[in-house]
Amino acid sequence: MVELKFLSLFTTFFLFLSPSSVLSRTLLQQRDISSFSLKLYPRNALYKSQFKSLKEISLDRLERDVARVNFLKKKIYRAIHGNGTSDLKTMDLEIPITSGKSQGSGEYFARFGYGTPPKQLYTAIDTGSDITWIQCTPCDPLNPCYPQTDPLFDPSMSSSYKPLACDSQQCSQLDRSRCYTSTNTCAYRVDYGDNSFTEGDFVTETVTFGDSTTRNIAIGCGRKNQGLFMGSAGLLGLGGNSLSFPSQINSPSFSYCLVDKDATSASTLEFGSLAIPSDAITVPLLVNSKMNTFYYVGLTGISVGGQMLPISPSAFALDQSGDGGVIVDSGTAVTRFQPEVYNMLRDEFIKGIQGLPPPRGFLLFDTCYELTSRPPGIPRVAFLFDTKTLELPDNNYFTEVAQNVFCLSFATISQRTSIIGNTQQQGMRVSFDVGRALIGFSVGKC
C-alpha cells in the first residue's frame, strides 16, 4: 500500500490574484500572450441529451443546478466559519459512483490542447473553480472514468507531462492534497457537491490555446472522477486563486459570451487586453477577504417594469465576516436571491402582466404561464449597480421551460449570498478585468 503524507490545506474559490503574484512569476514563461480568443460551445452542441421533451431537459438542468448551488453554499459557509478544509483521509478513496445529476460543473465548453504533442479536448469552463483538470488514463478500476466526447488523455504519450513534488509551491496552494511519499509526488482532490469529485495526480503540462502555447501549467490529471460531466474531458478553472487558469497564464482580463443553452452555434472565450468591449457597462469587482475565488459585484437594486423595488441595501451587502454579497457565476443556471428580494420581484412582475390567468408553479419556479407564445410587453427587469443599469433581455428572465410553458426564471436561496446565474447572462459578453477591479456586461456582444 502506498504510504500517504497529509499536507496543509488552503481554501480555493473566486476573485483573482494580481498577475504579479509570486506563483505567477514562477510558473509563467516570459512571452507575450496579450490576447487570444477561443470558441465557446453550449453543452447541447457536444452532448446530445437523452431527453426528448423540453420539460425533461429543463428538469434535468434544474436538478444539476440545485447541486451546483448547494456546492457554492457549502464553500461560502466553510470559508466564513473556518471549517472548510480537512486533510484527505484514506477512506475518501473508496467512494461509489452515484447519479450524474449530482455534478456541479458548468454548461459551456472550450477546446484546448493538452500535452506535447497537443491533444485537443473539450473542457467545461467554470468561474466558480480554480483547479483545471482533465480525465487521464488509466482510470481507477473501482471508479471508472465517465464518458466524454474526446479520447481520454494518456500521460505516457506526452513528453511535457511532469508530476509535481510534494513540497512544490503549487501543491501547497491546493485546498485538498496528499503526498505519495514513495515517489514524492503530489495528488489533488476537488469536491463539487453531492458526492461529485475529481481526484488524481497534480502535474504540470503544456497547454495550447489558439496560436499560443504555455508550458508548466499546473493541472489535475484525474484518475477518479465521479459525476456525469456529460461529454467534457474535464474543467477549466476561471476563478480567482493563483492556481486558476487566467492567473497562471498571466492574463490581466478575460471574457465570455454565453449563447442560448439549446443552440448548436459557438460564441467565444477571450483572454487579454482585447477581451473587454469599450461600450461595456462596467461595475466594481469587490473583494471578499474570506473568499478569493468568487467574483463579487456591488448590486444595489432591481427594477421591474421601470419600478424600483423597495429592497434594503443590506440585502446585497458583503459584510466584514465575508457573508452576503452577490457573485457572478458561469456554472449556476438560475439567478438566486434571498426570499424577501425574490418575493418583491415576483409580485411586481405579476402585477405588470396584463390579461393573463393567475400564475402556477412548474418545476423549480412558482410563477409560470401556459401560453402559445411569449407575450409582448412583459415587464422589463433591470439590475442596478450604483449609477449603472443593466436591462436584461426578456429571454433572460422569462424562459420557456416546457412546450408552451413560460416561467419567471429566478429562484430563492437559503443564505445571504446571492448568485447571478448564466440564464441571466445569456446573449451578453461578461468581462472580468482583475487589474482594474471591474466586471463588464455588454448585451448583444456575442
Q: Which residues are marked as active site?
A: 126, 329
Q: Where are the alpha helices (DSSP H) in 288-442?
A: 339-352, 422-425
**Residue 55: count of CB within 10 angstroms of its CB:** 15
Rounded (5°) CA angle 379-381-386 = 140
Q: Provide the CB-side half-sphere exposure for 278 (13 A, CA).
A: 0
196-209 and 162-163: which strand pairing? antiparallel
Q: Which three cell numbers stand for residue 429?
A: 459578453
Asked if 234 and 135 touch (Cβ cutoff 8 Å), the reply is yes
User: How far is the C-alpha of 348 from the C-alpha of 304, rounded, in Å?
Assistant: 6
User: How far is the C-alpha of 365 from the C-alpha of 261, rounded, in Å?
Assistant: 18
**Residue 439: count of CB within 10 angstroms of its CB:** 25
Backbone region of residue 193 per phi and psi (left: phi > 0; alpha: psi in -120 to 50; beta: other values): left
* Most distant CA atoms of the chain, gap in Å: 72
User: How far is the C-alpha of 292 from the C-alpha of 287, rounded, in Å?
Assistant: 7
User: How far is the C-alpha of 340 from the C-alpha of 344, rounded, in Å?
Assistant: 6
Asked if 442 and 280 touch (Cβ cutoff 8 Å), the reply is yes
Q: Which three cell numbers stand for residue 176?
A: 485538498
Q: Which three cell numbers stand for residue 19?
A: 498577475
Which of 192-213 are b and which e, b meaning 16 or more Cβ less than 10 Å from the residue's Cβ?
bbbbbbbbbbbbbbbbbbeebb
Asked if 252 and 153 touch (Cβ cutoff 8 Å), the reply is no
Q: Where are the beta strands (DSSP E) in 341-425?
A: 360-362, 365-370, 381-385, 388-391, 398-402, 405-408, 410-412, 418-420
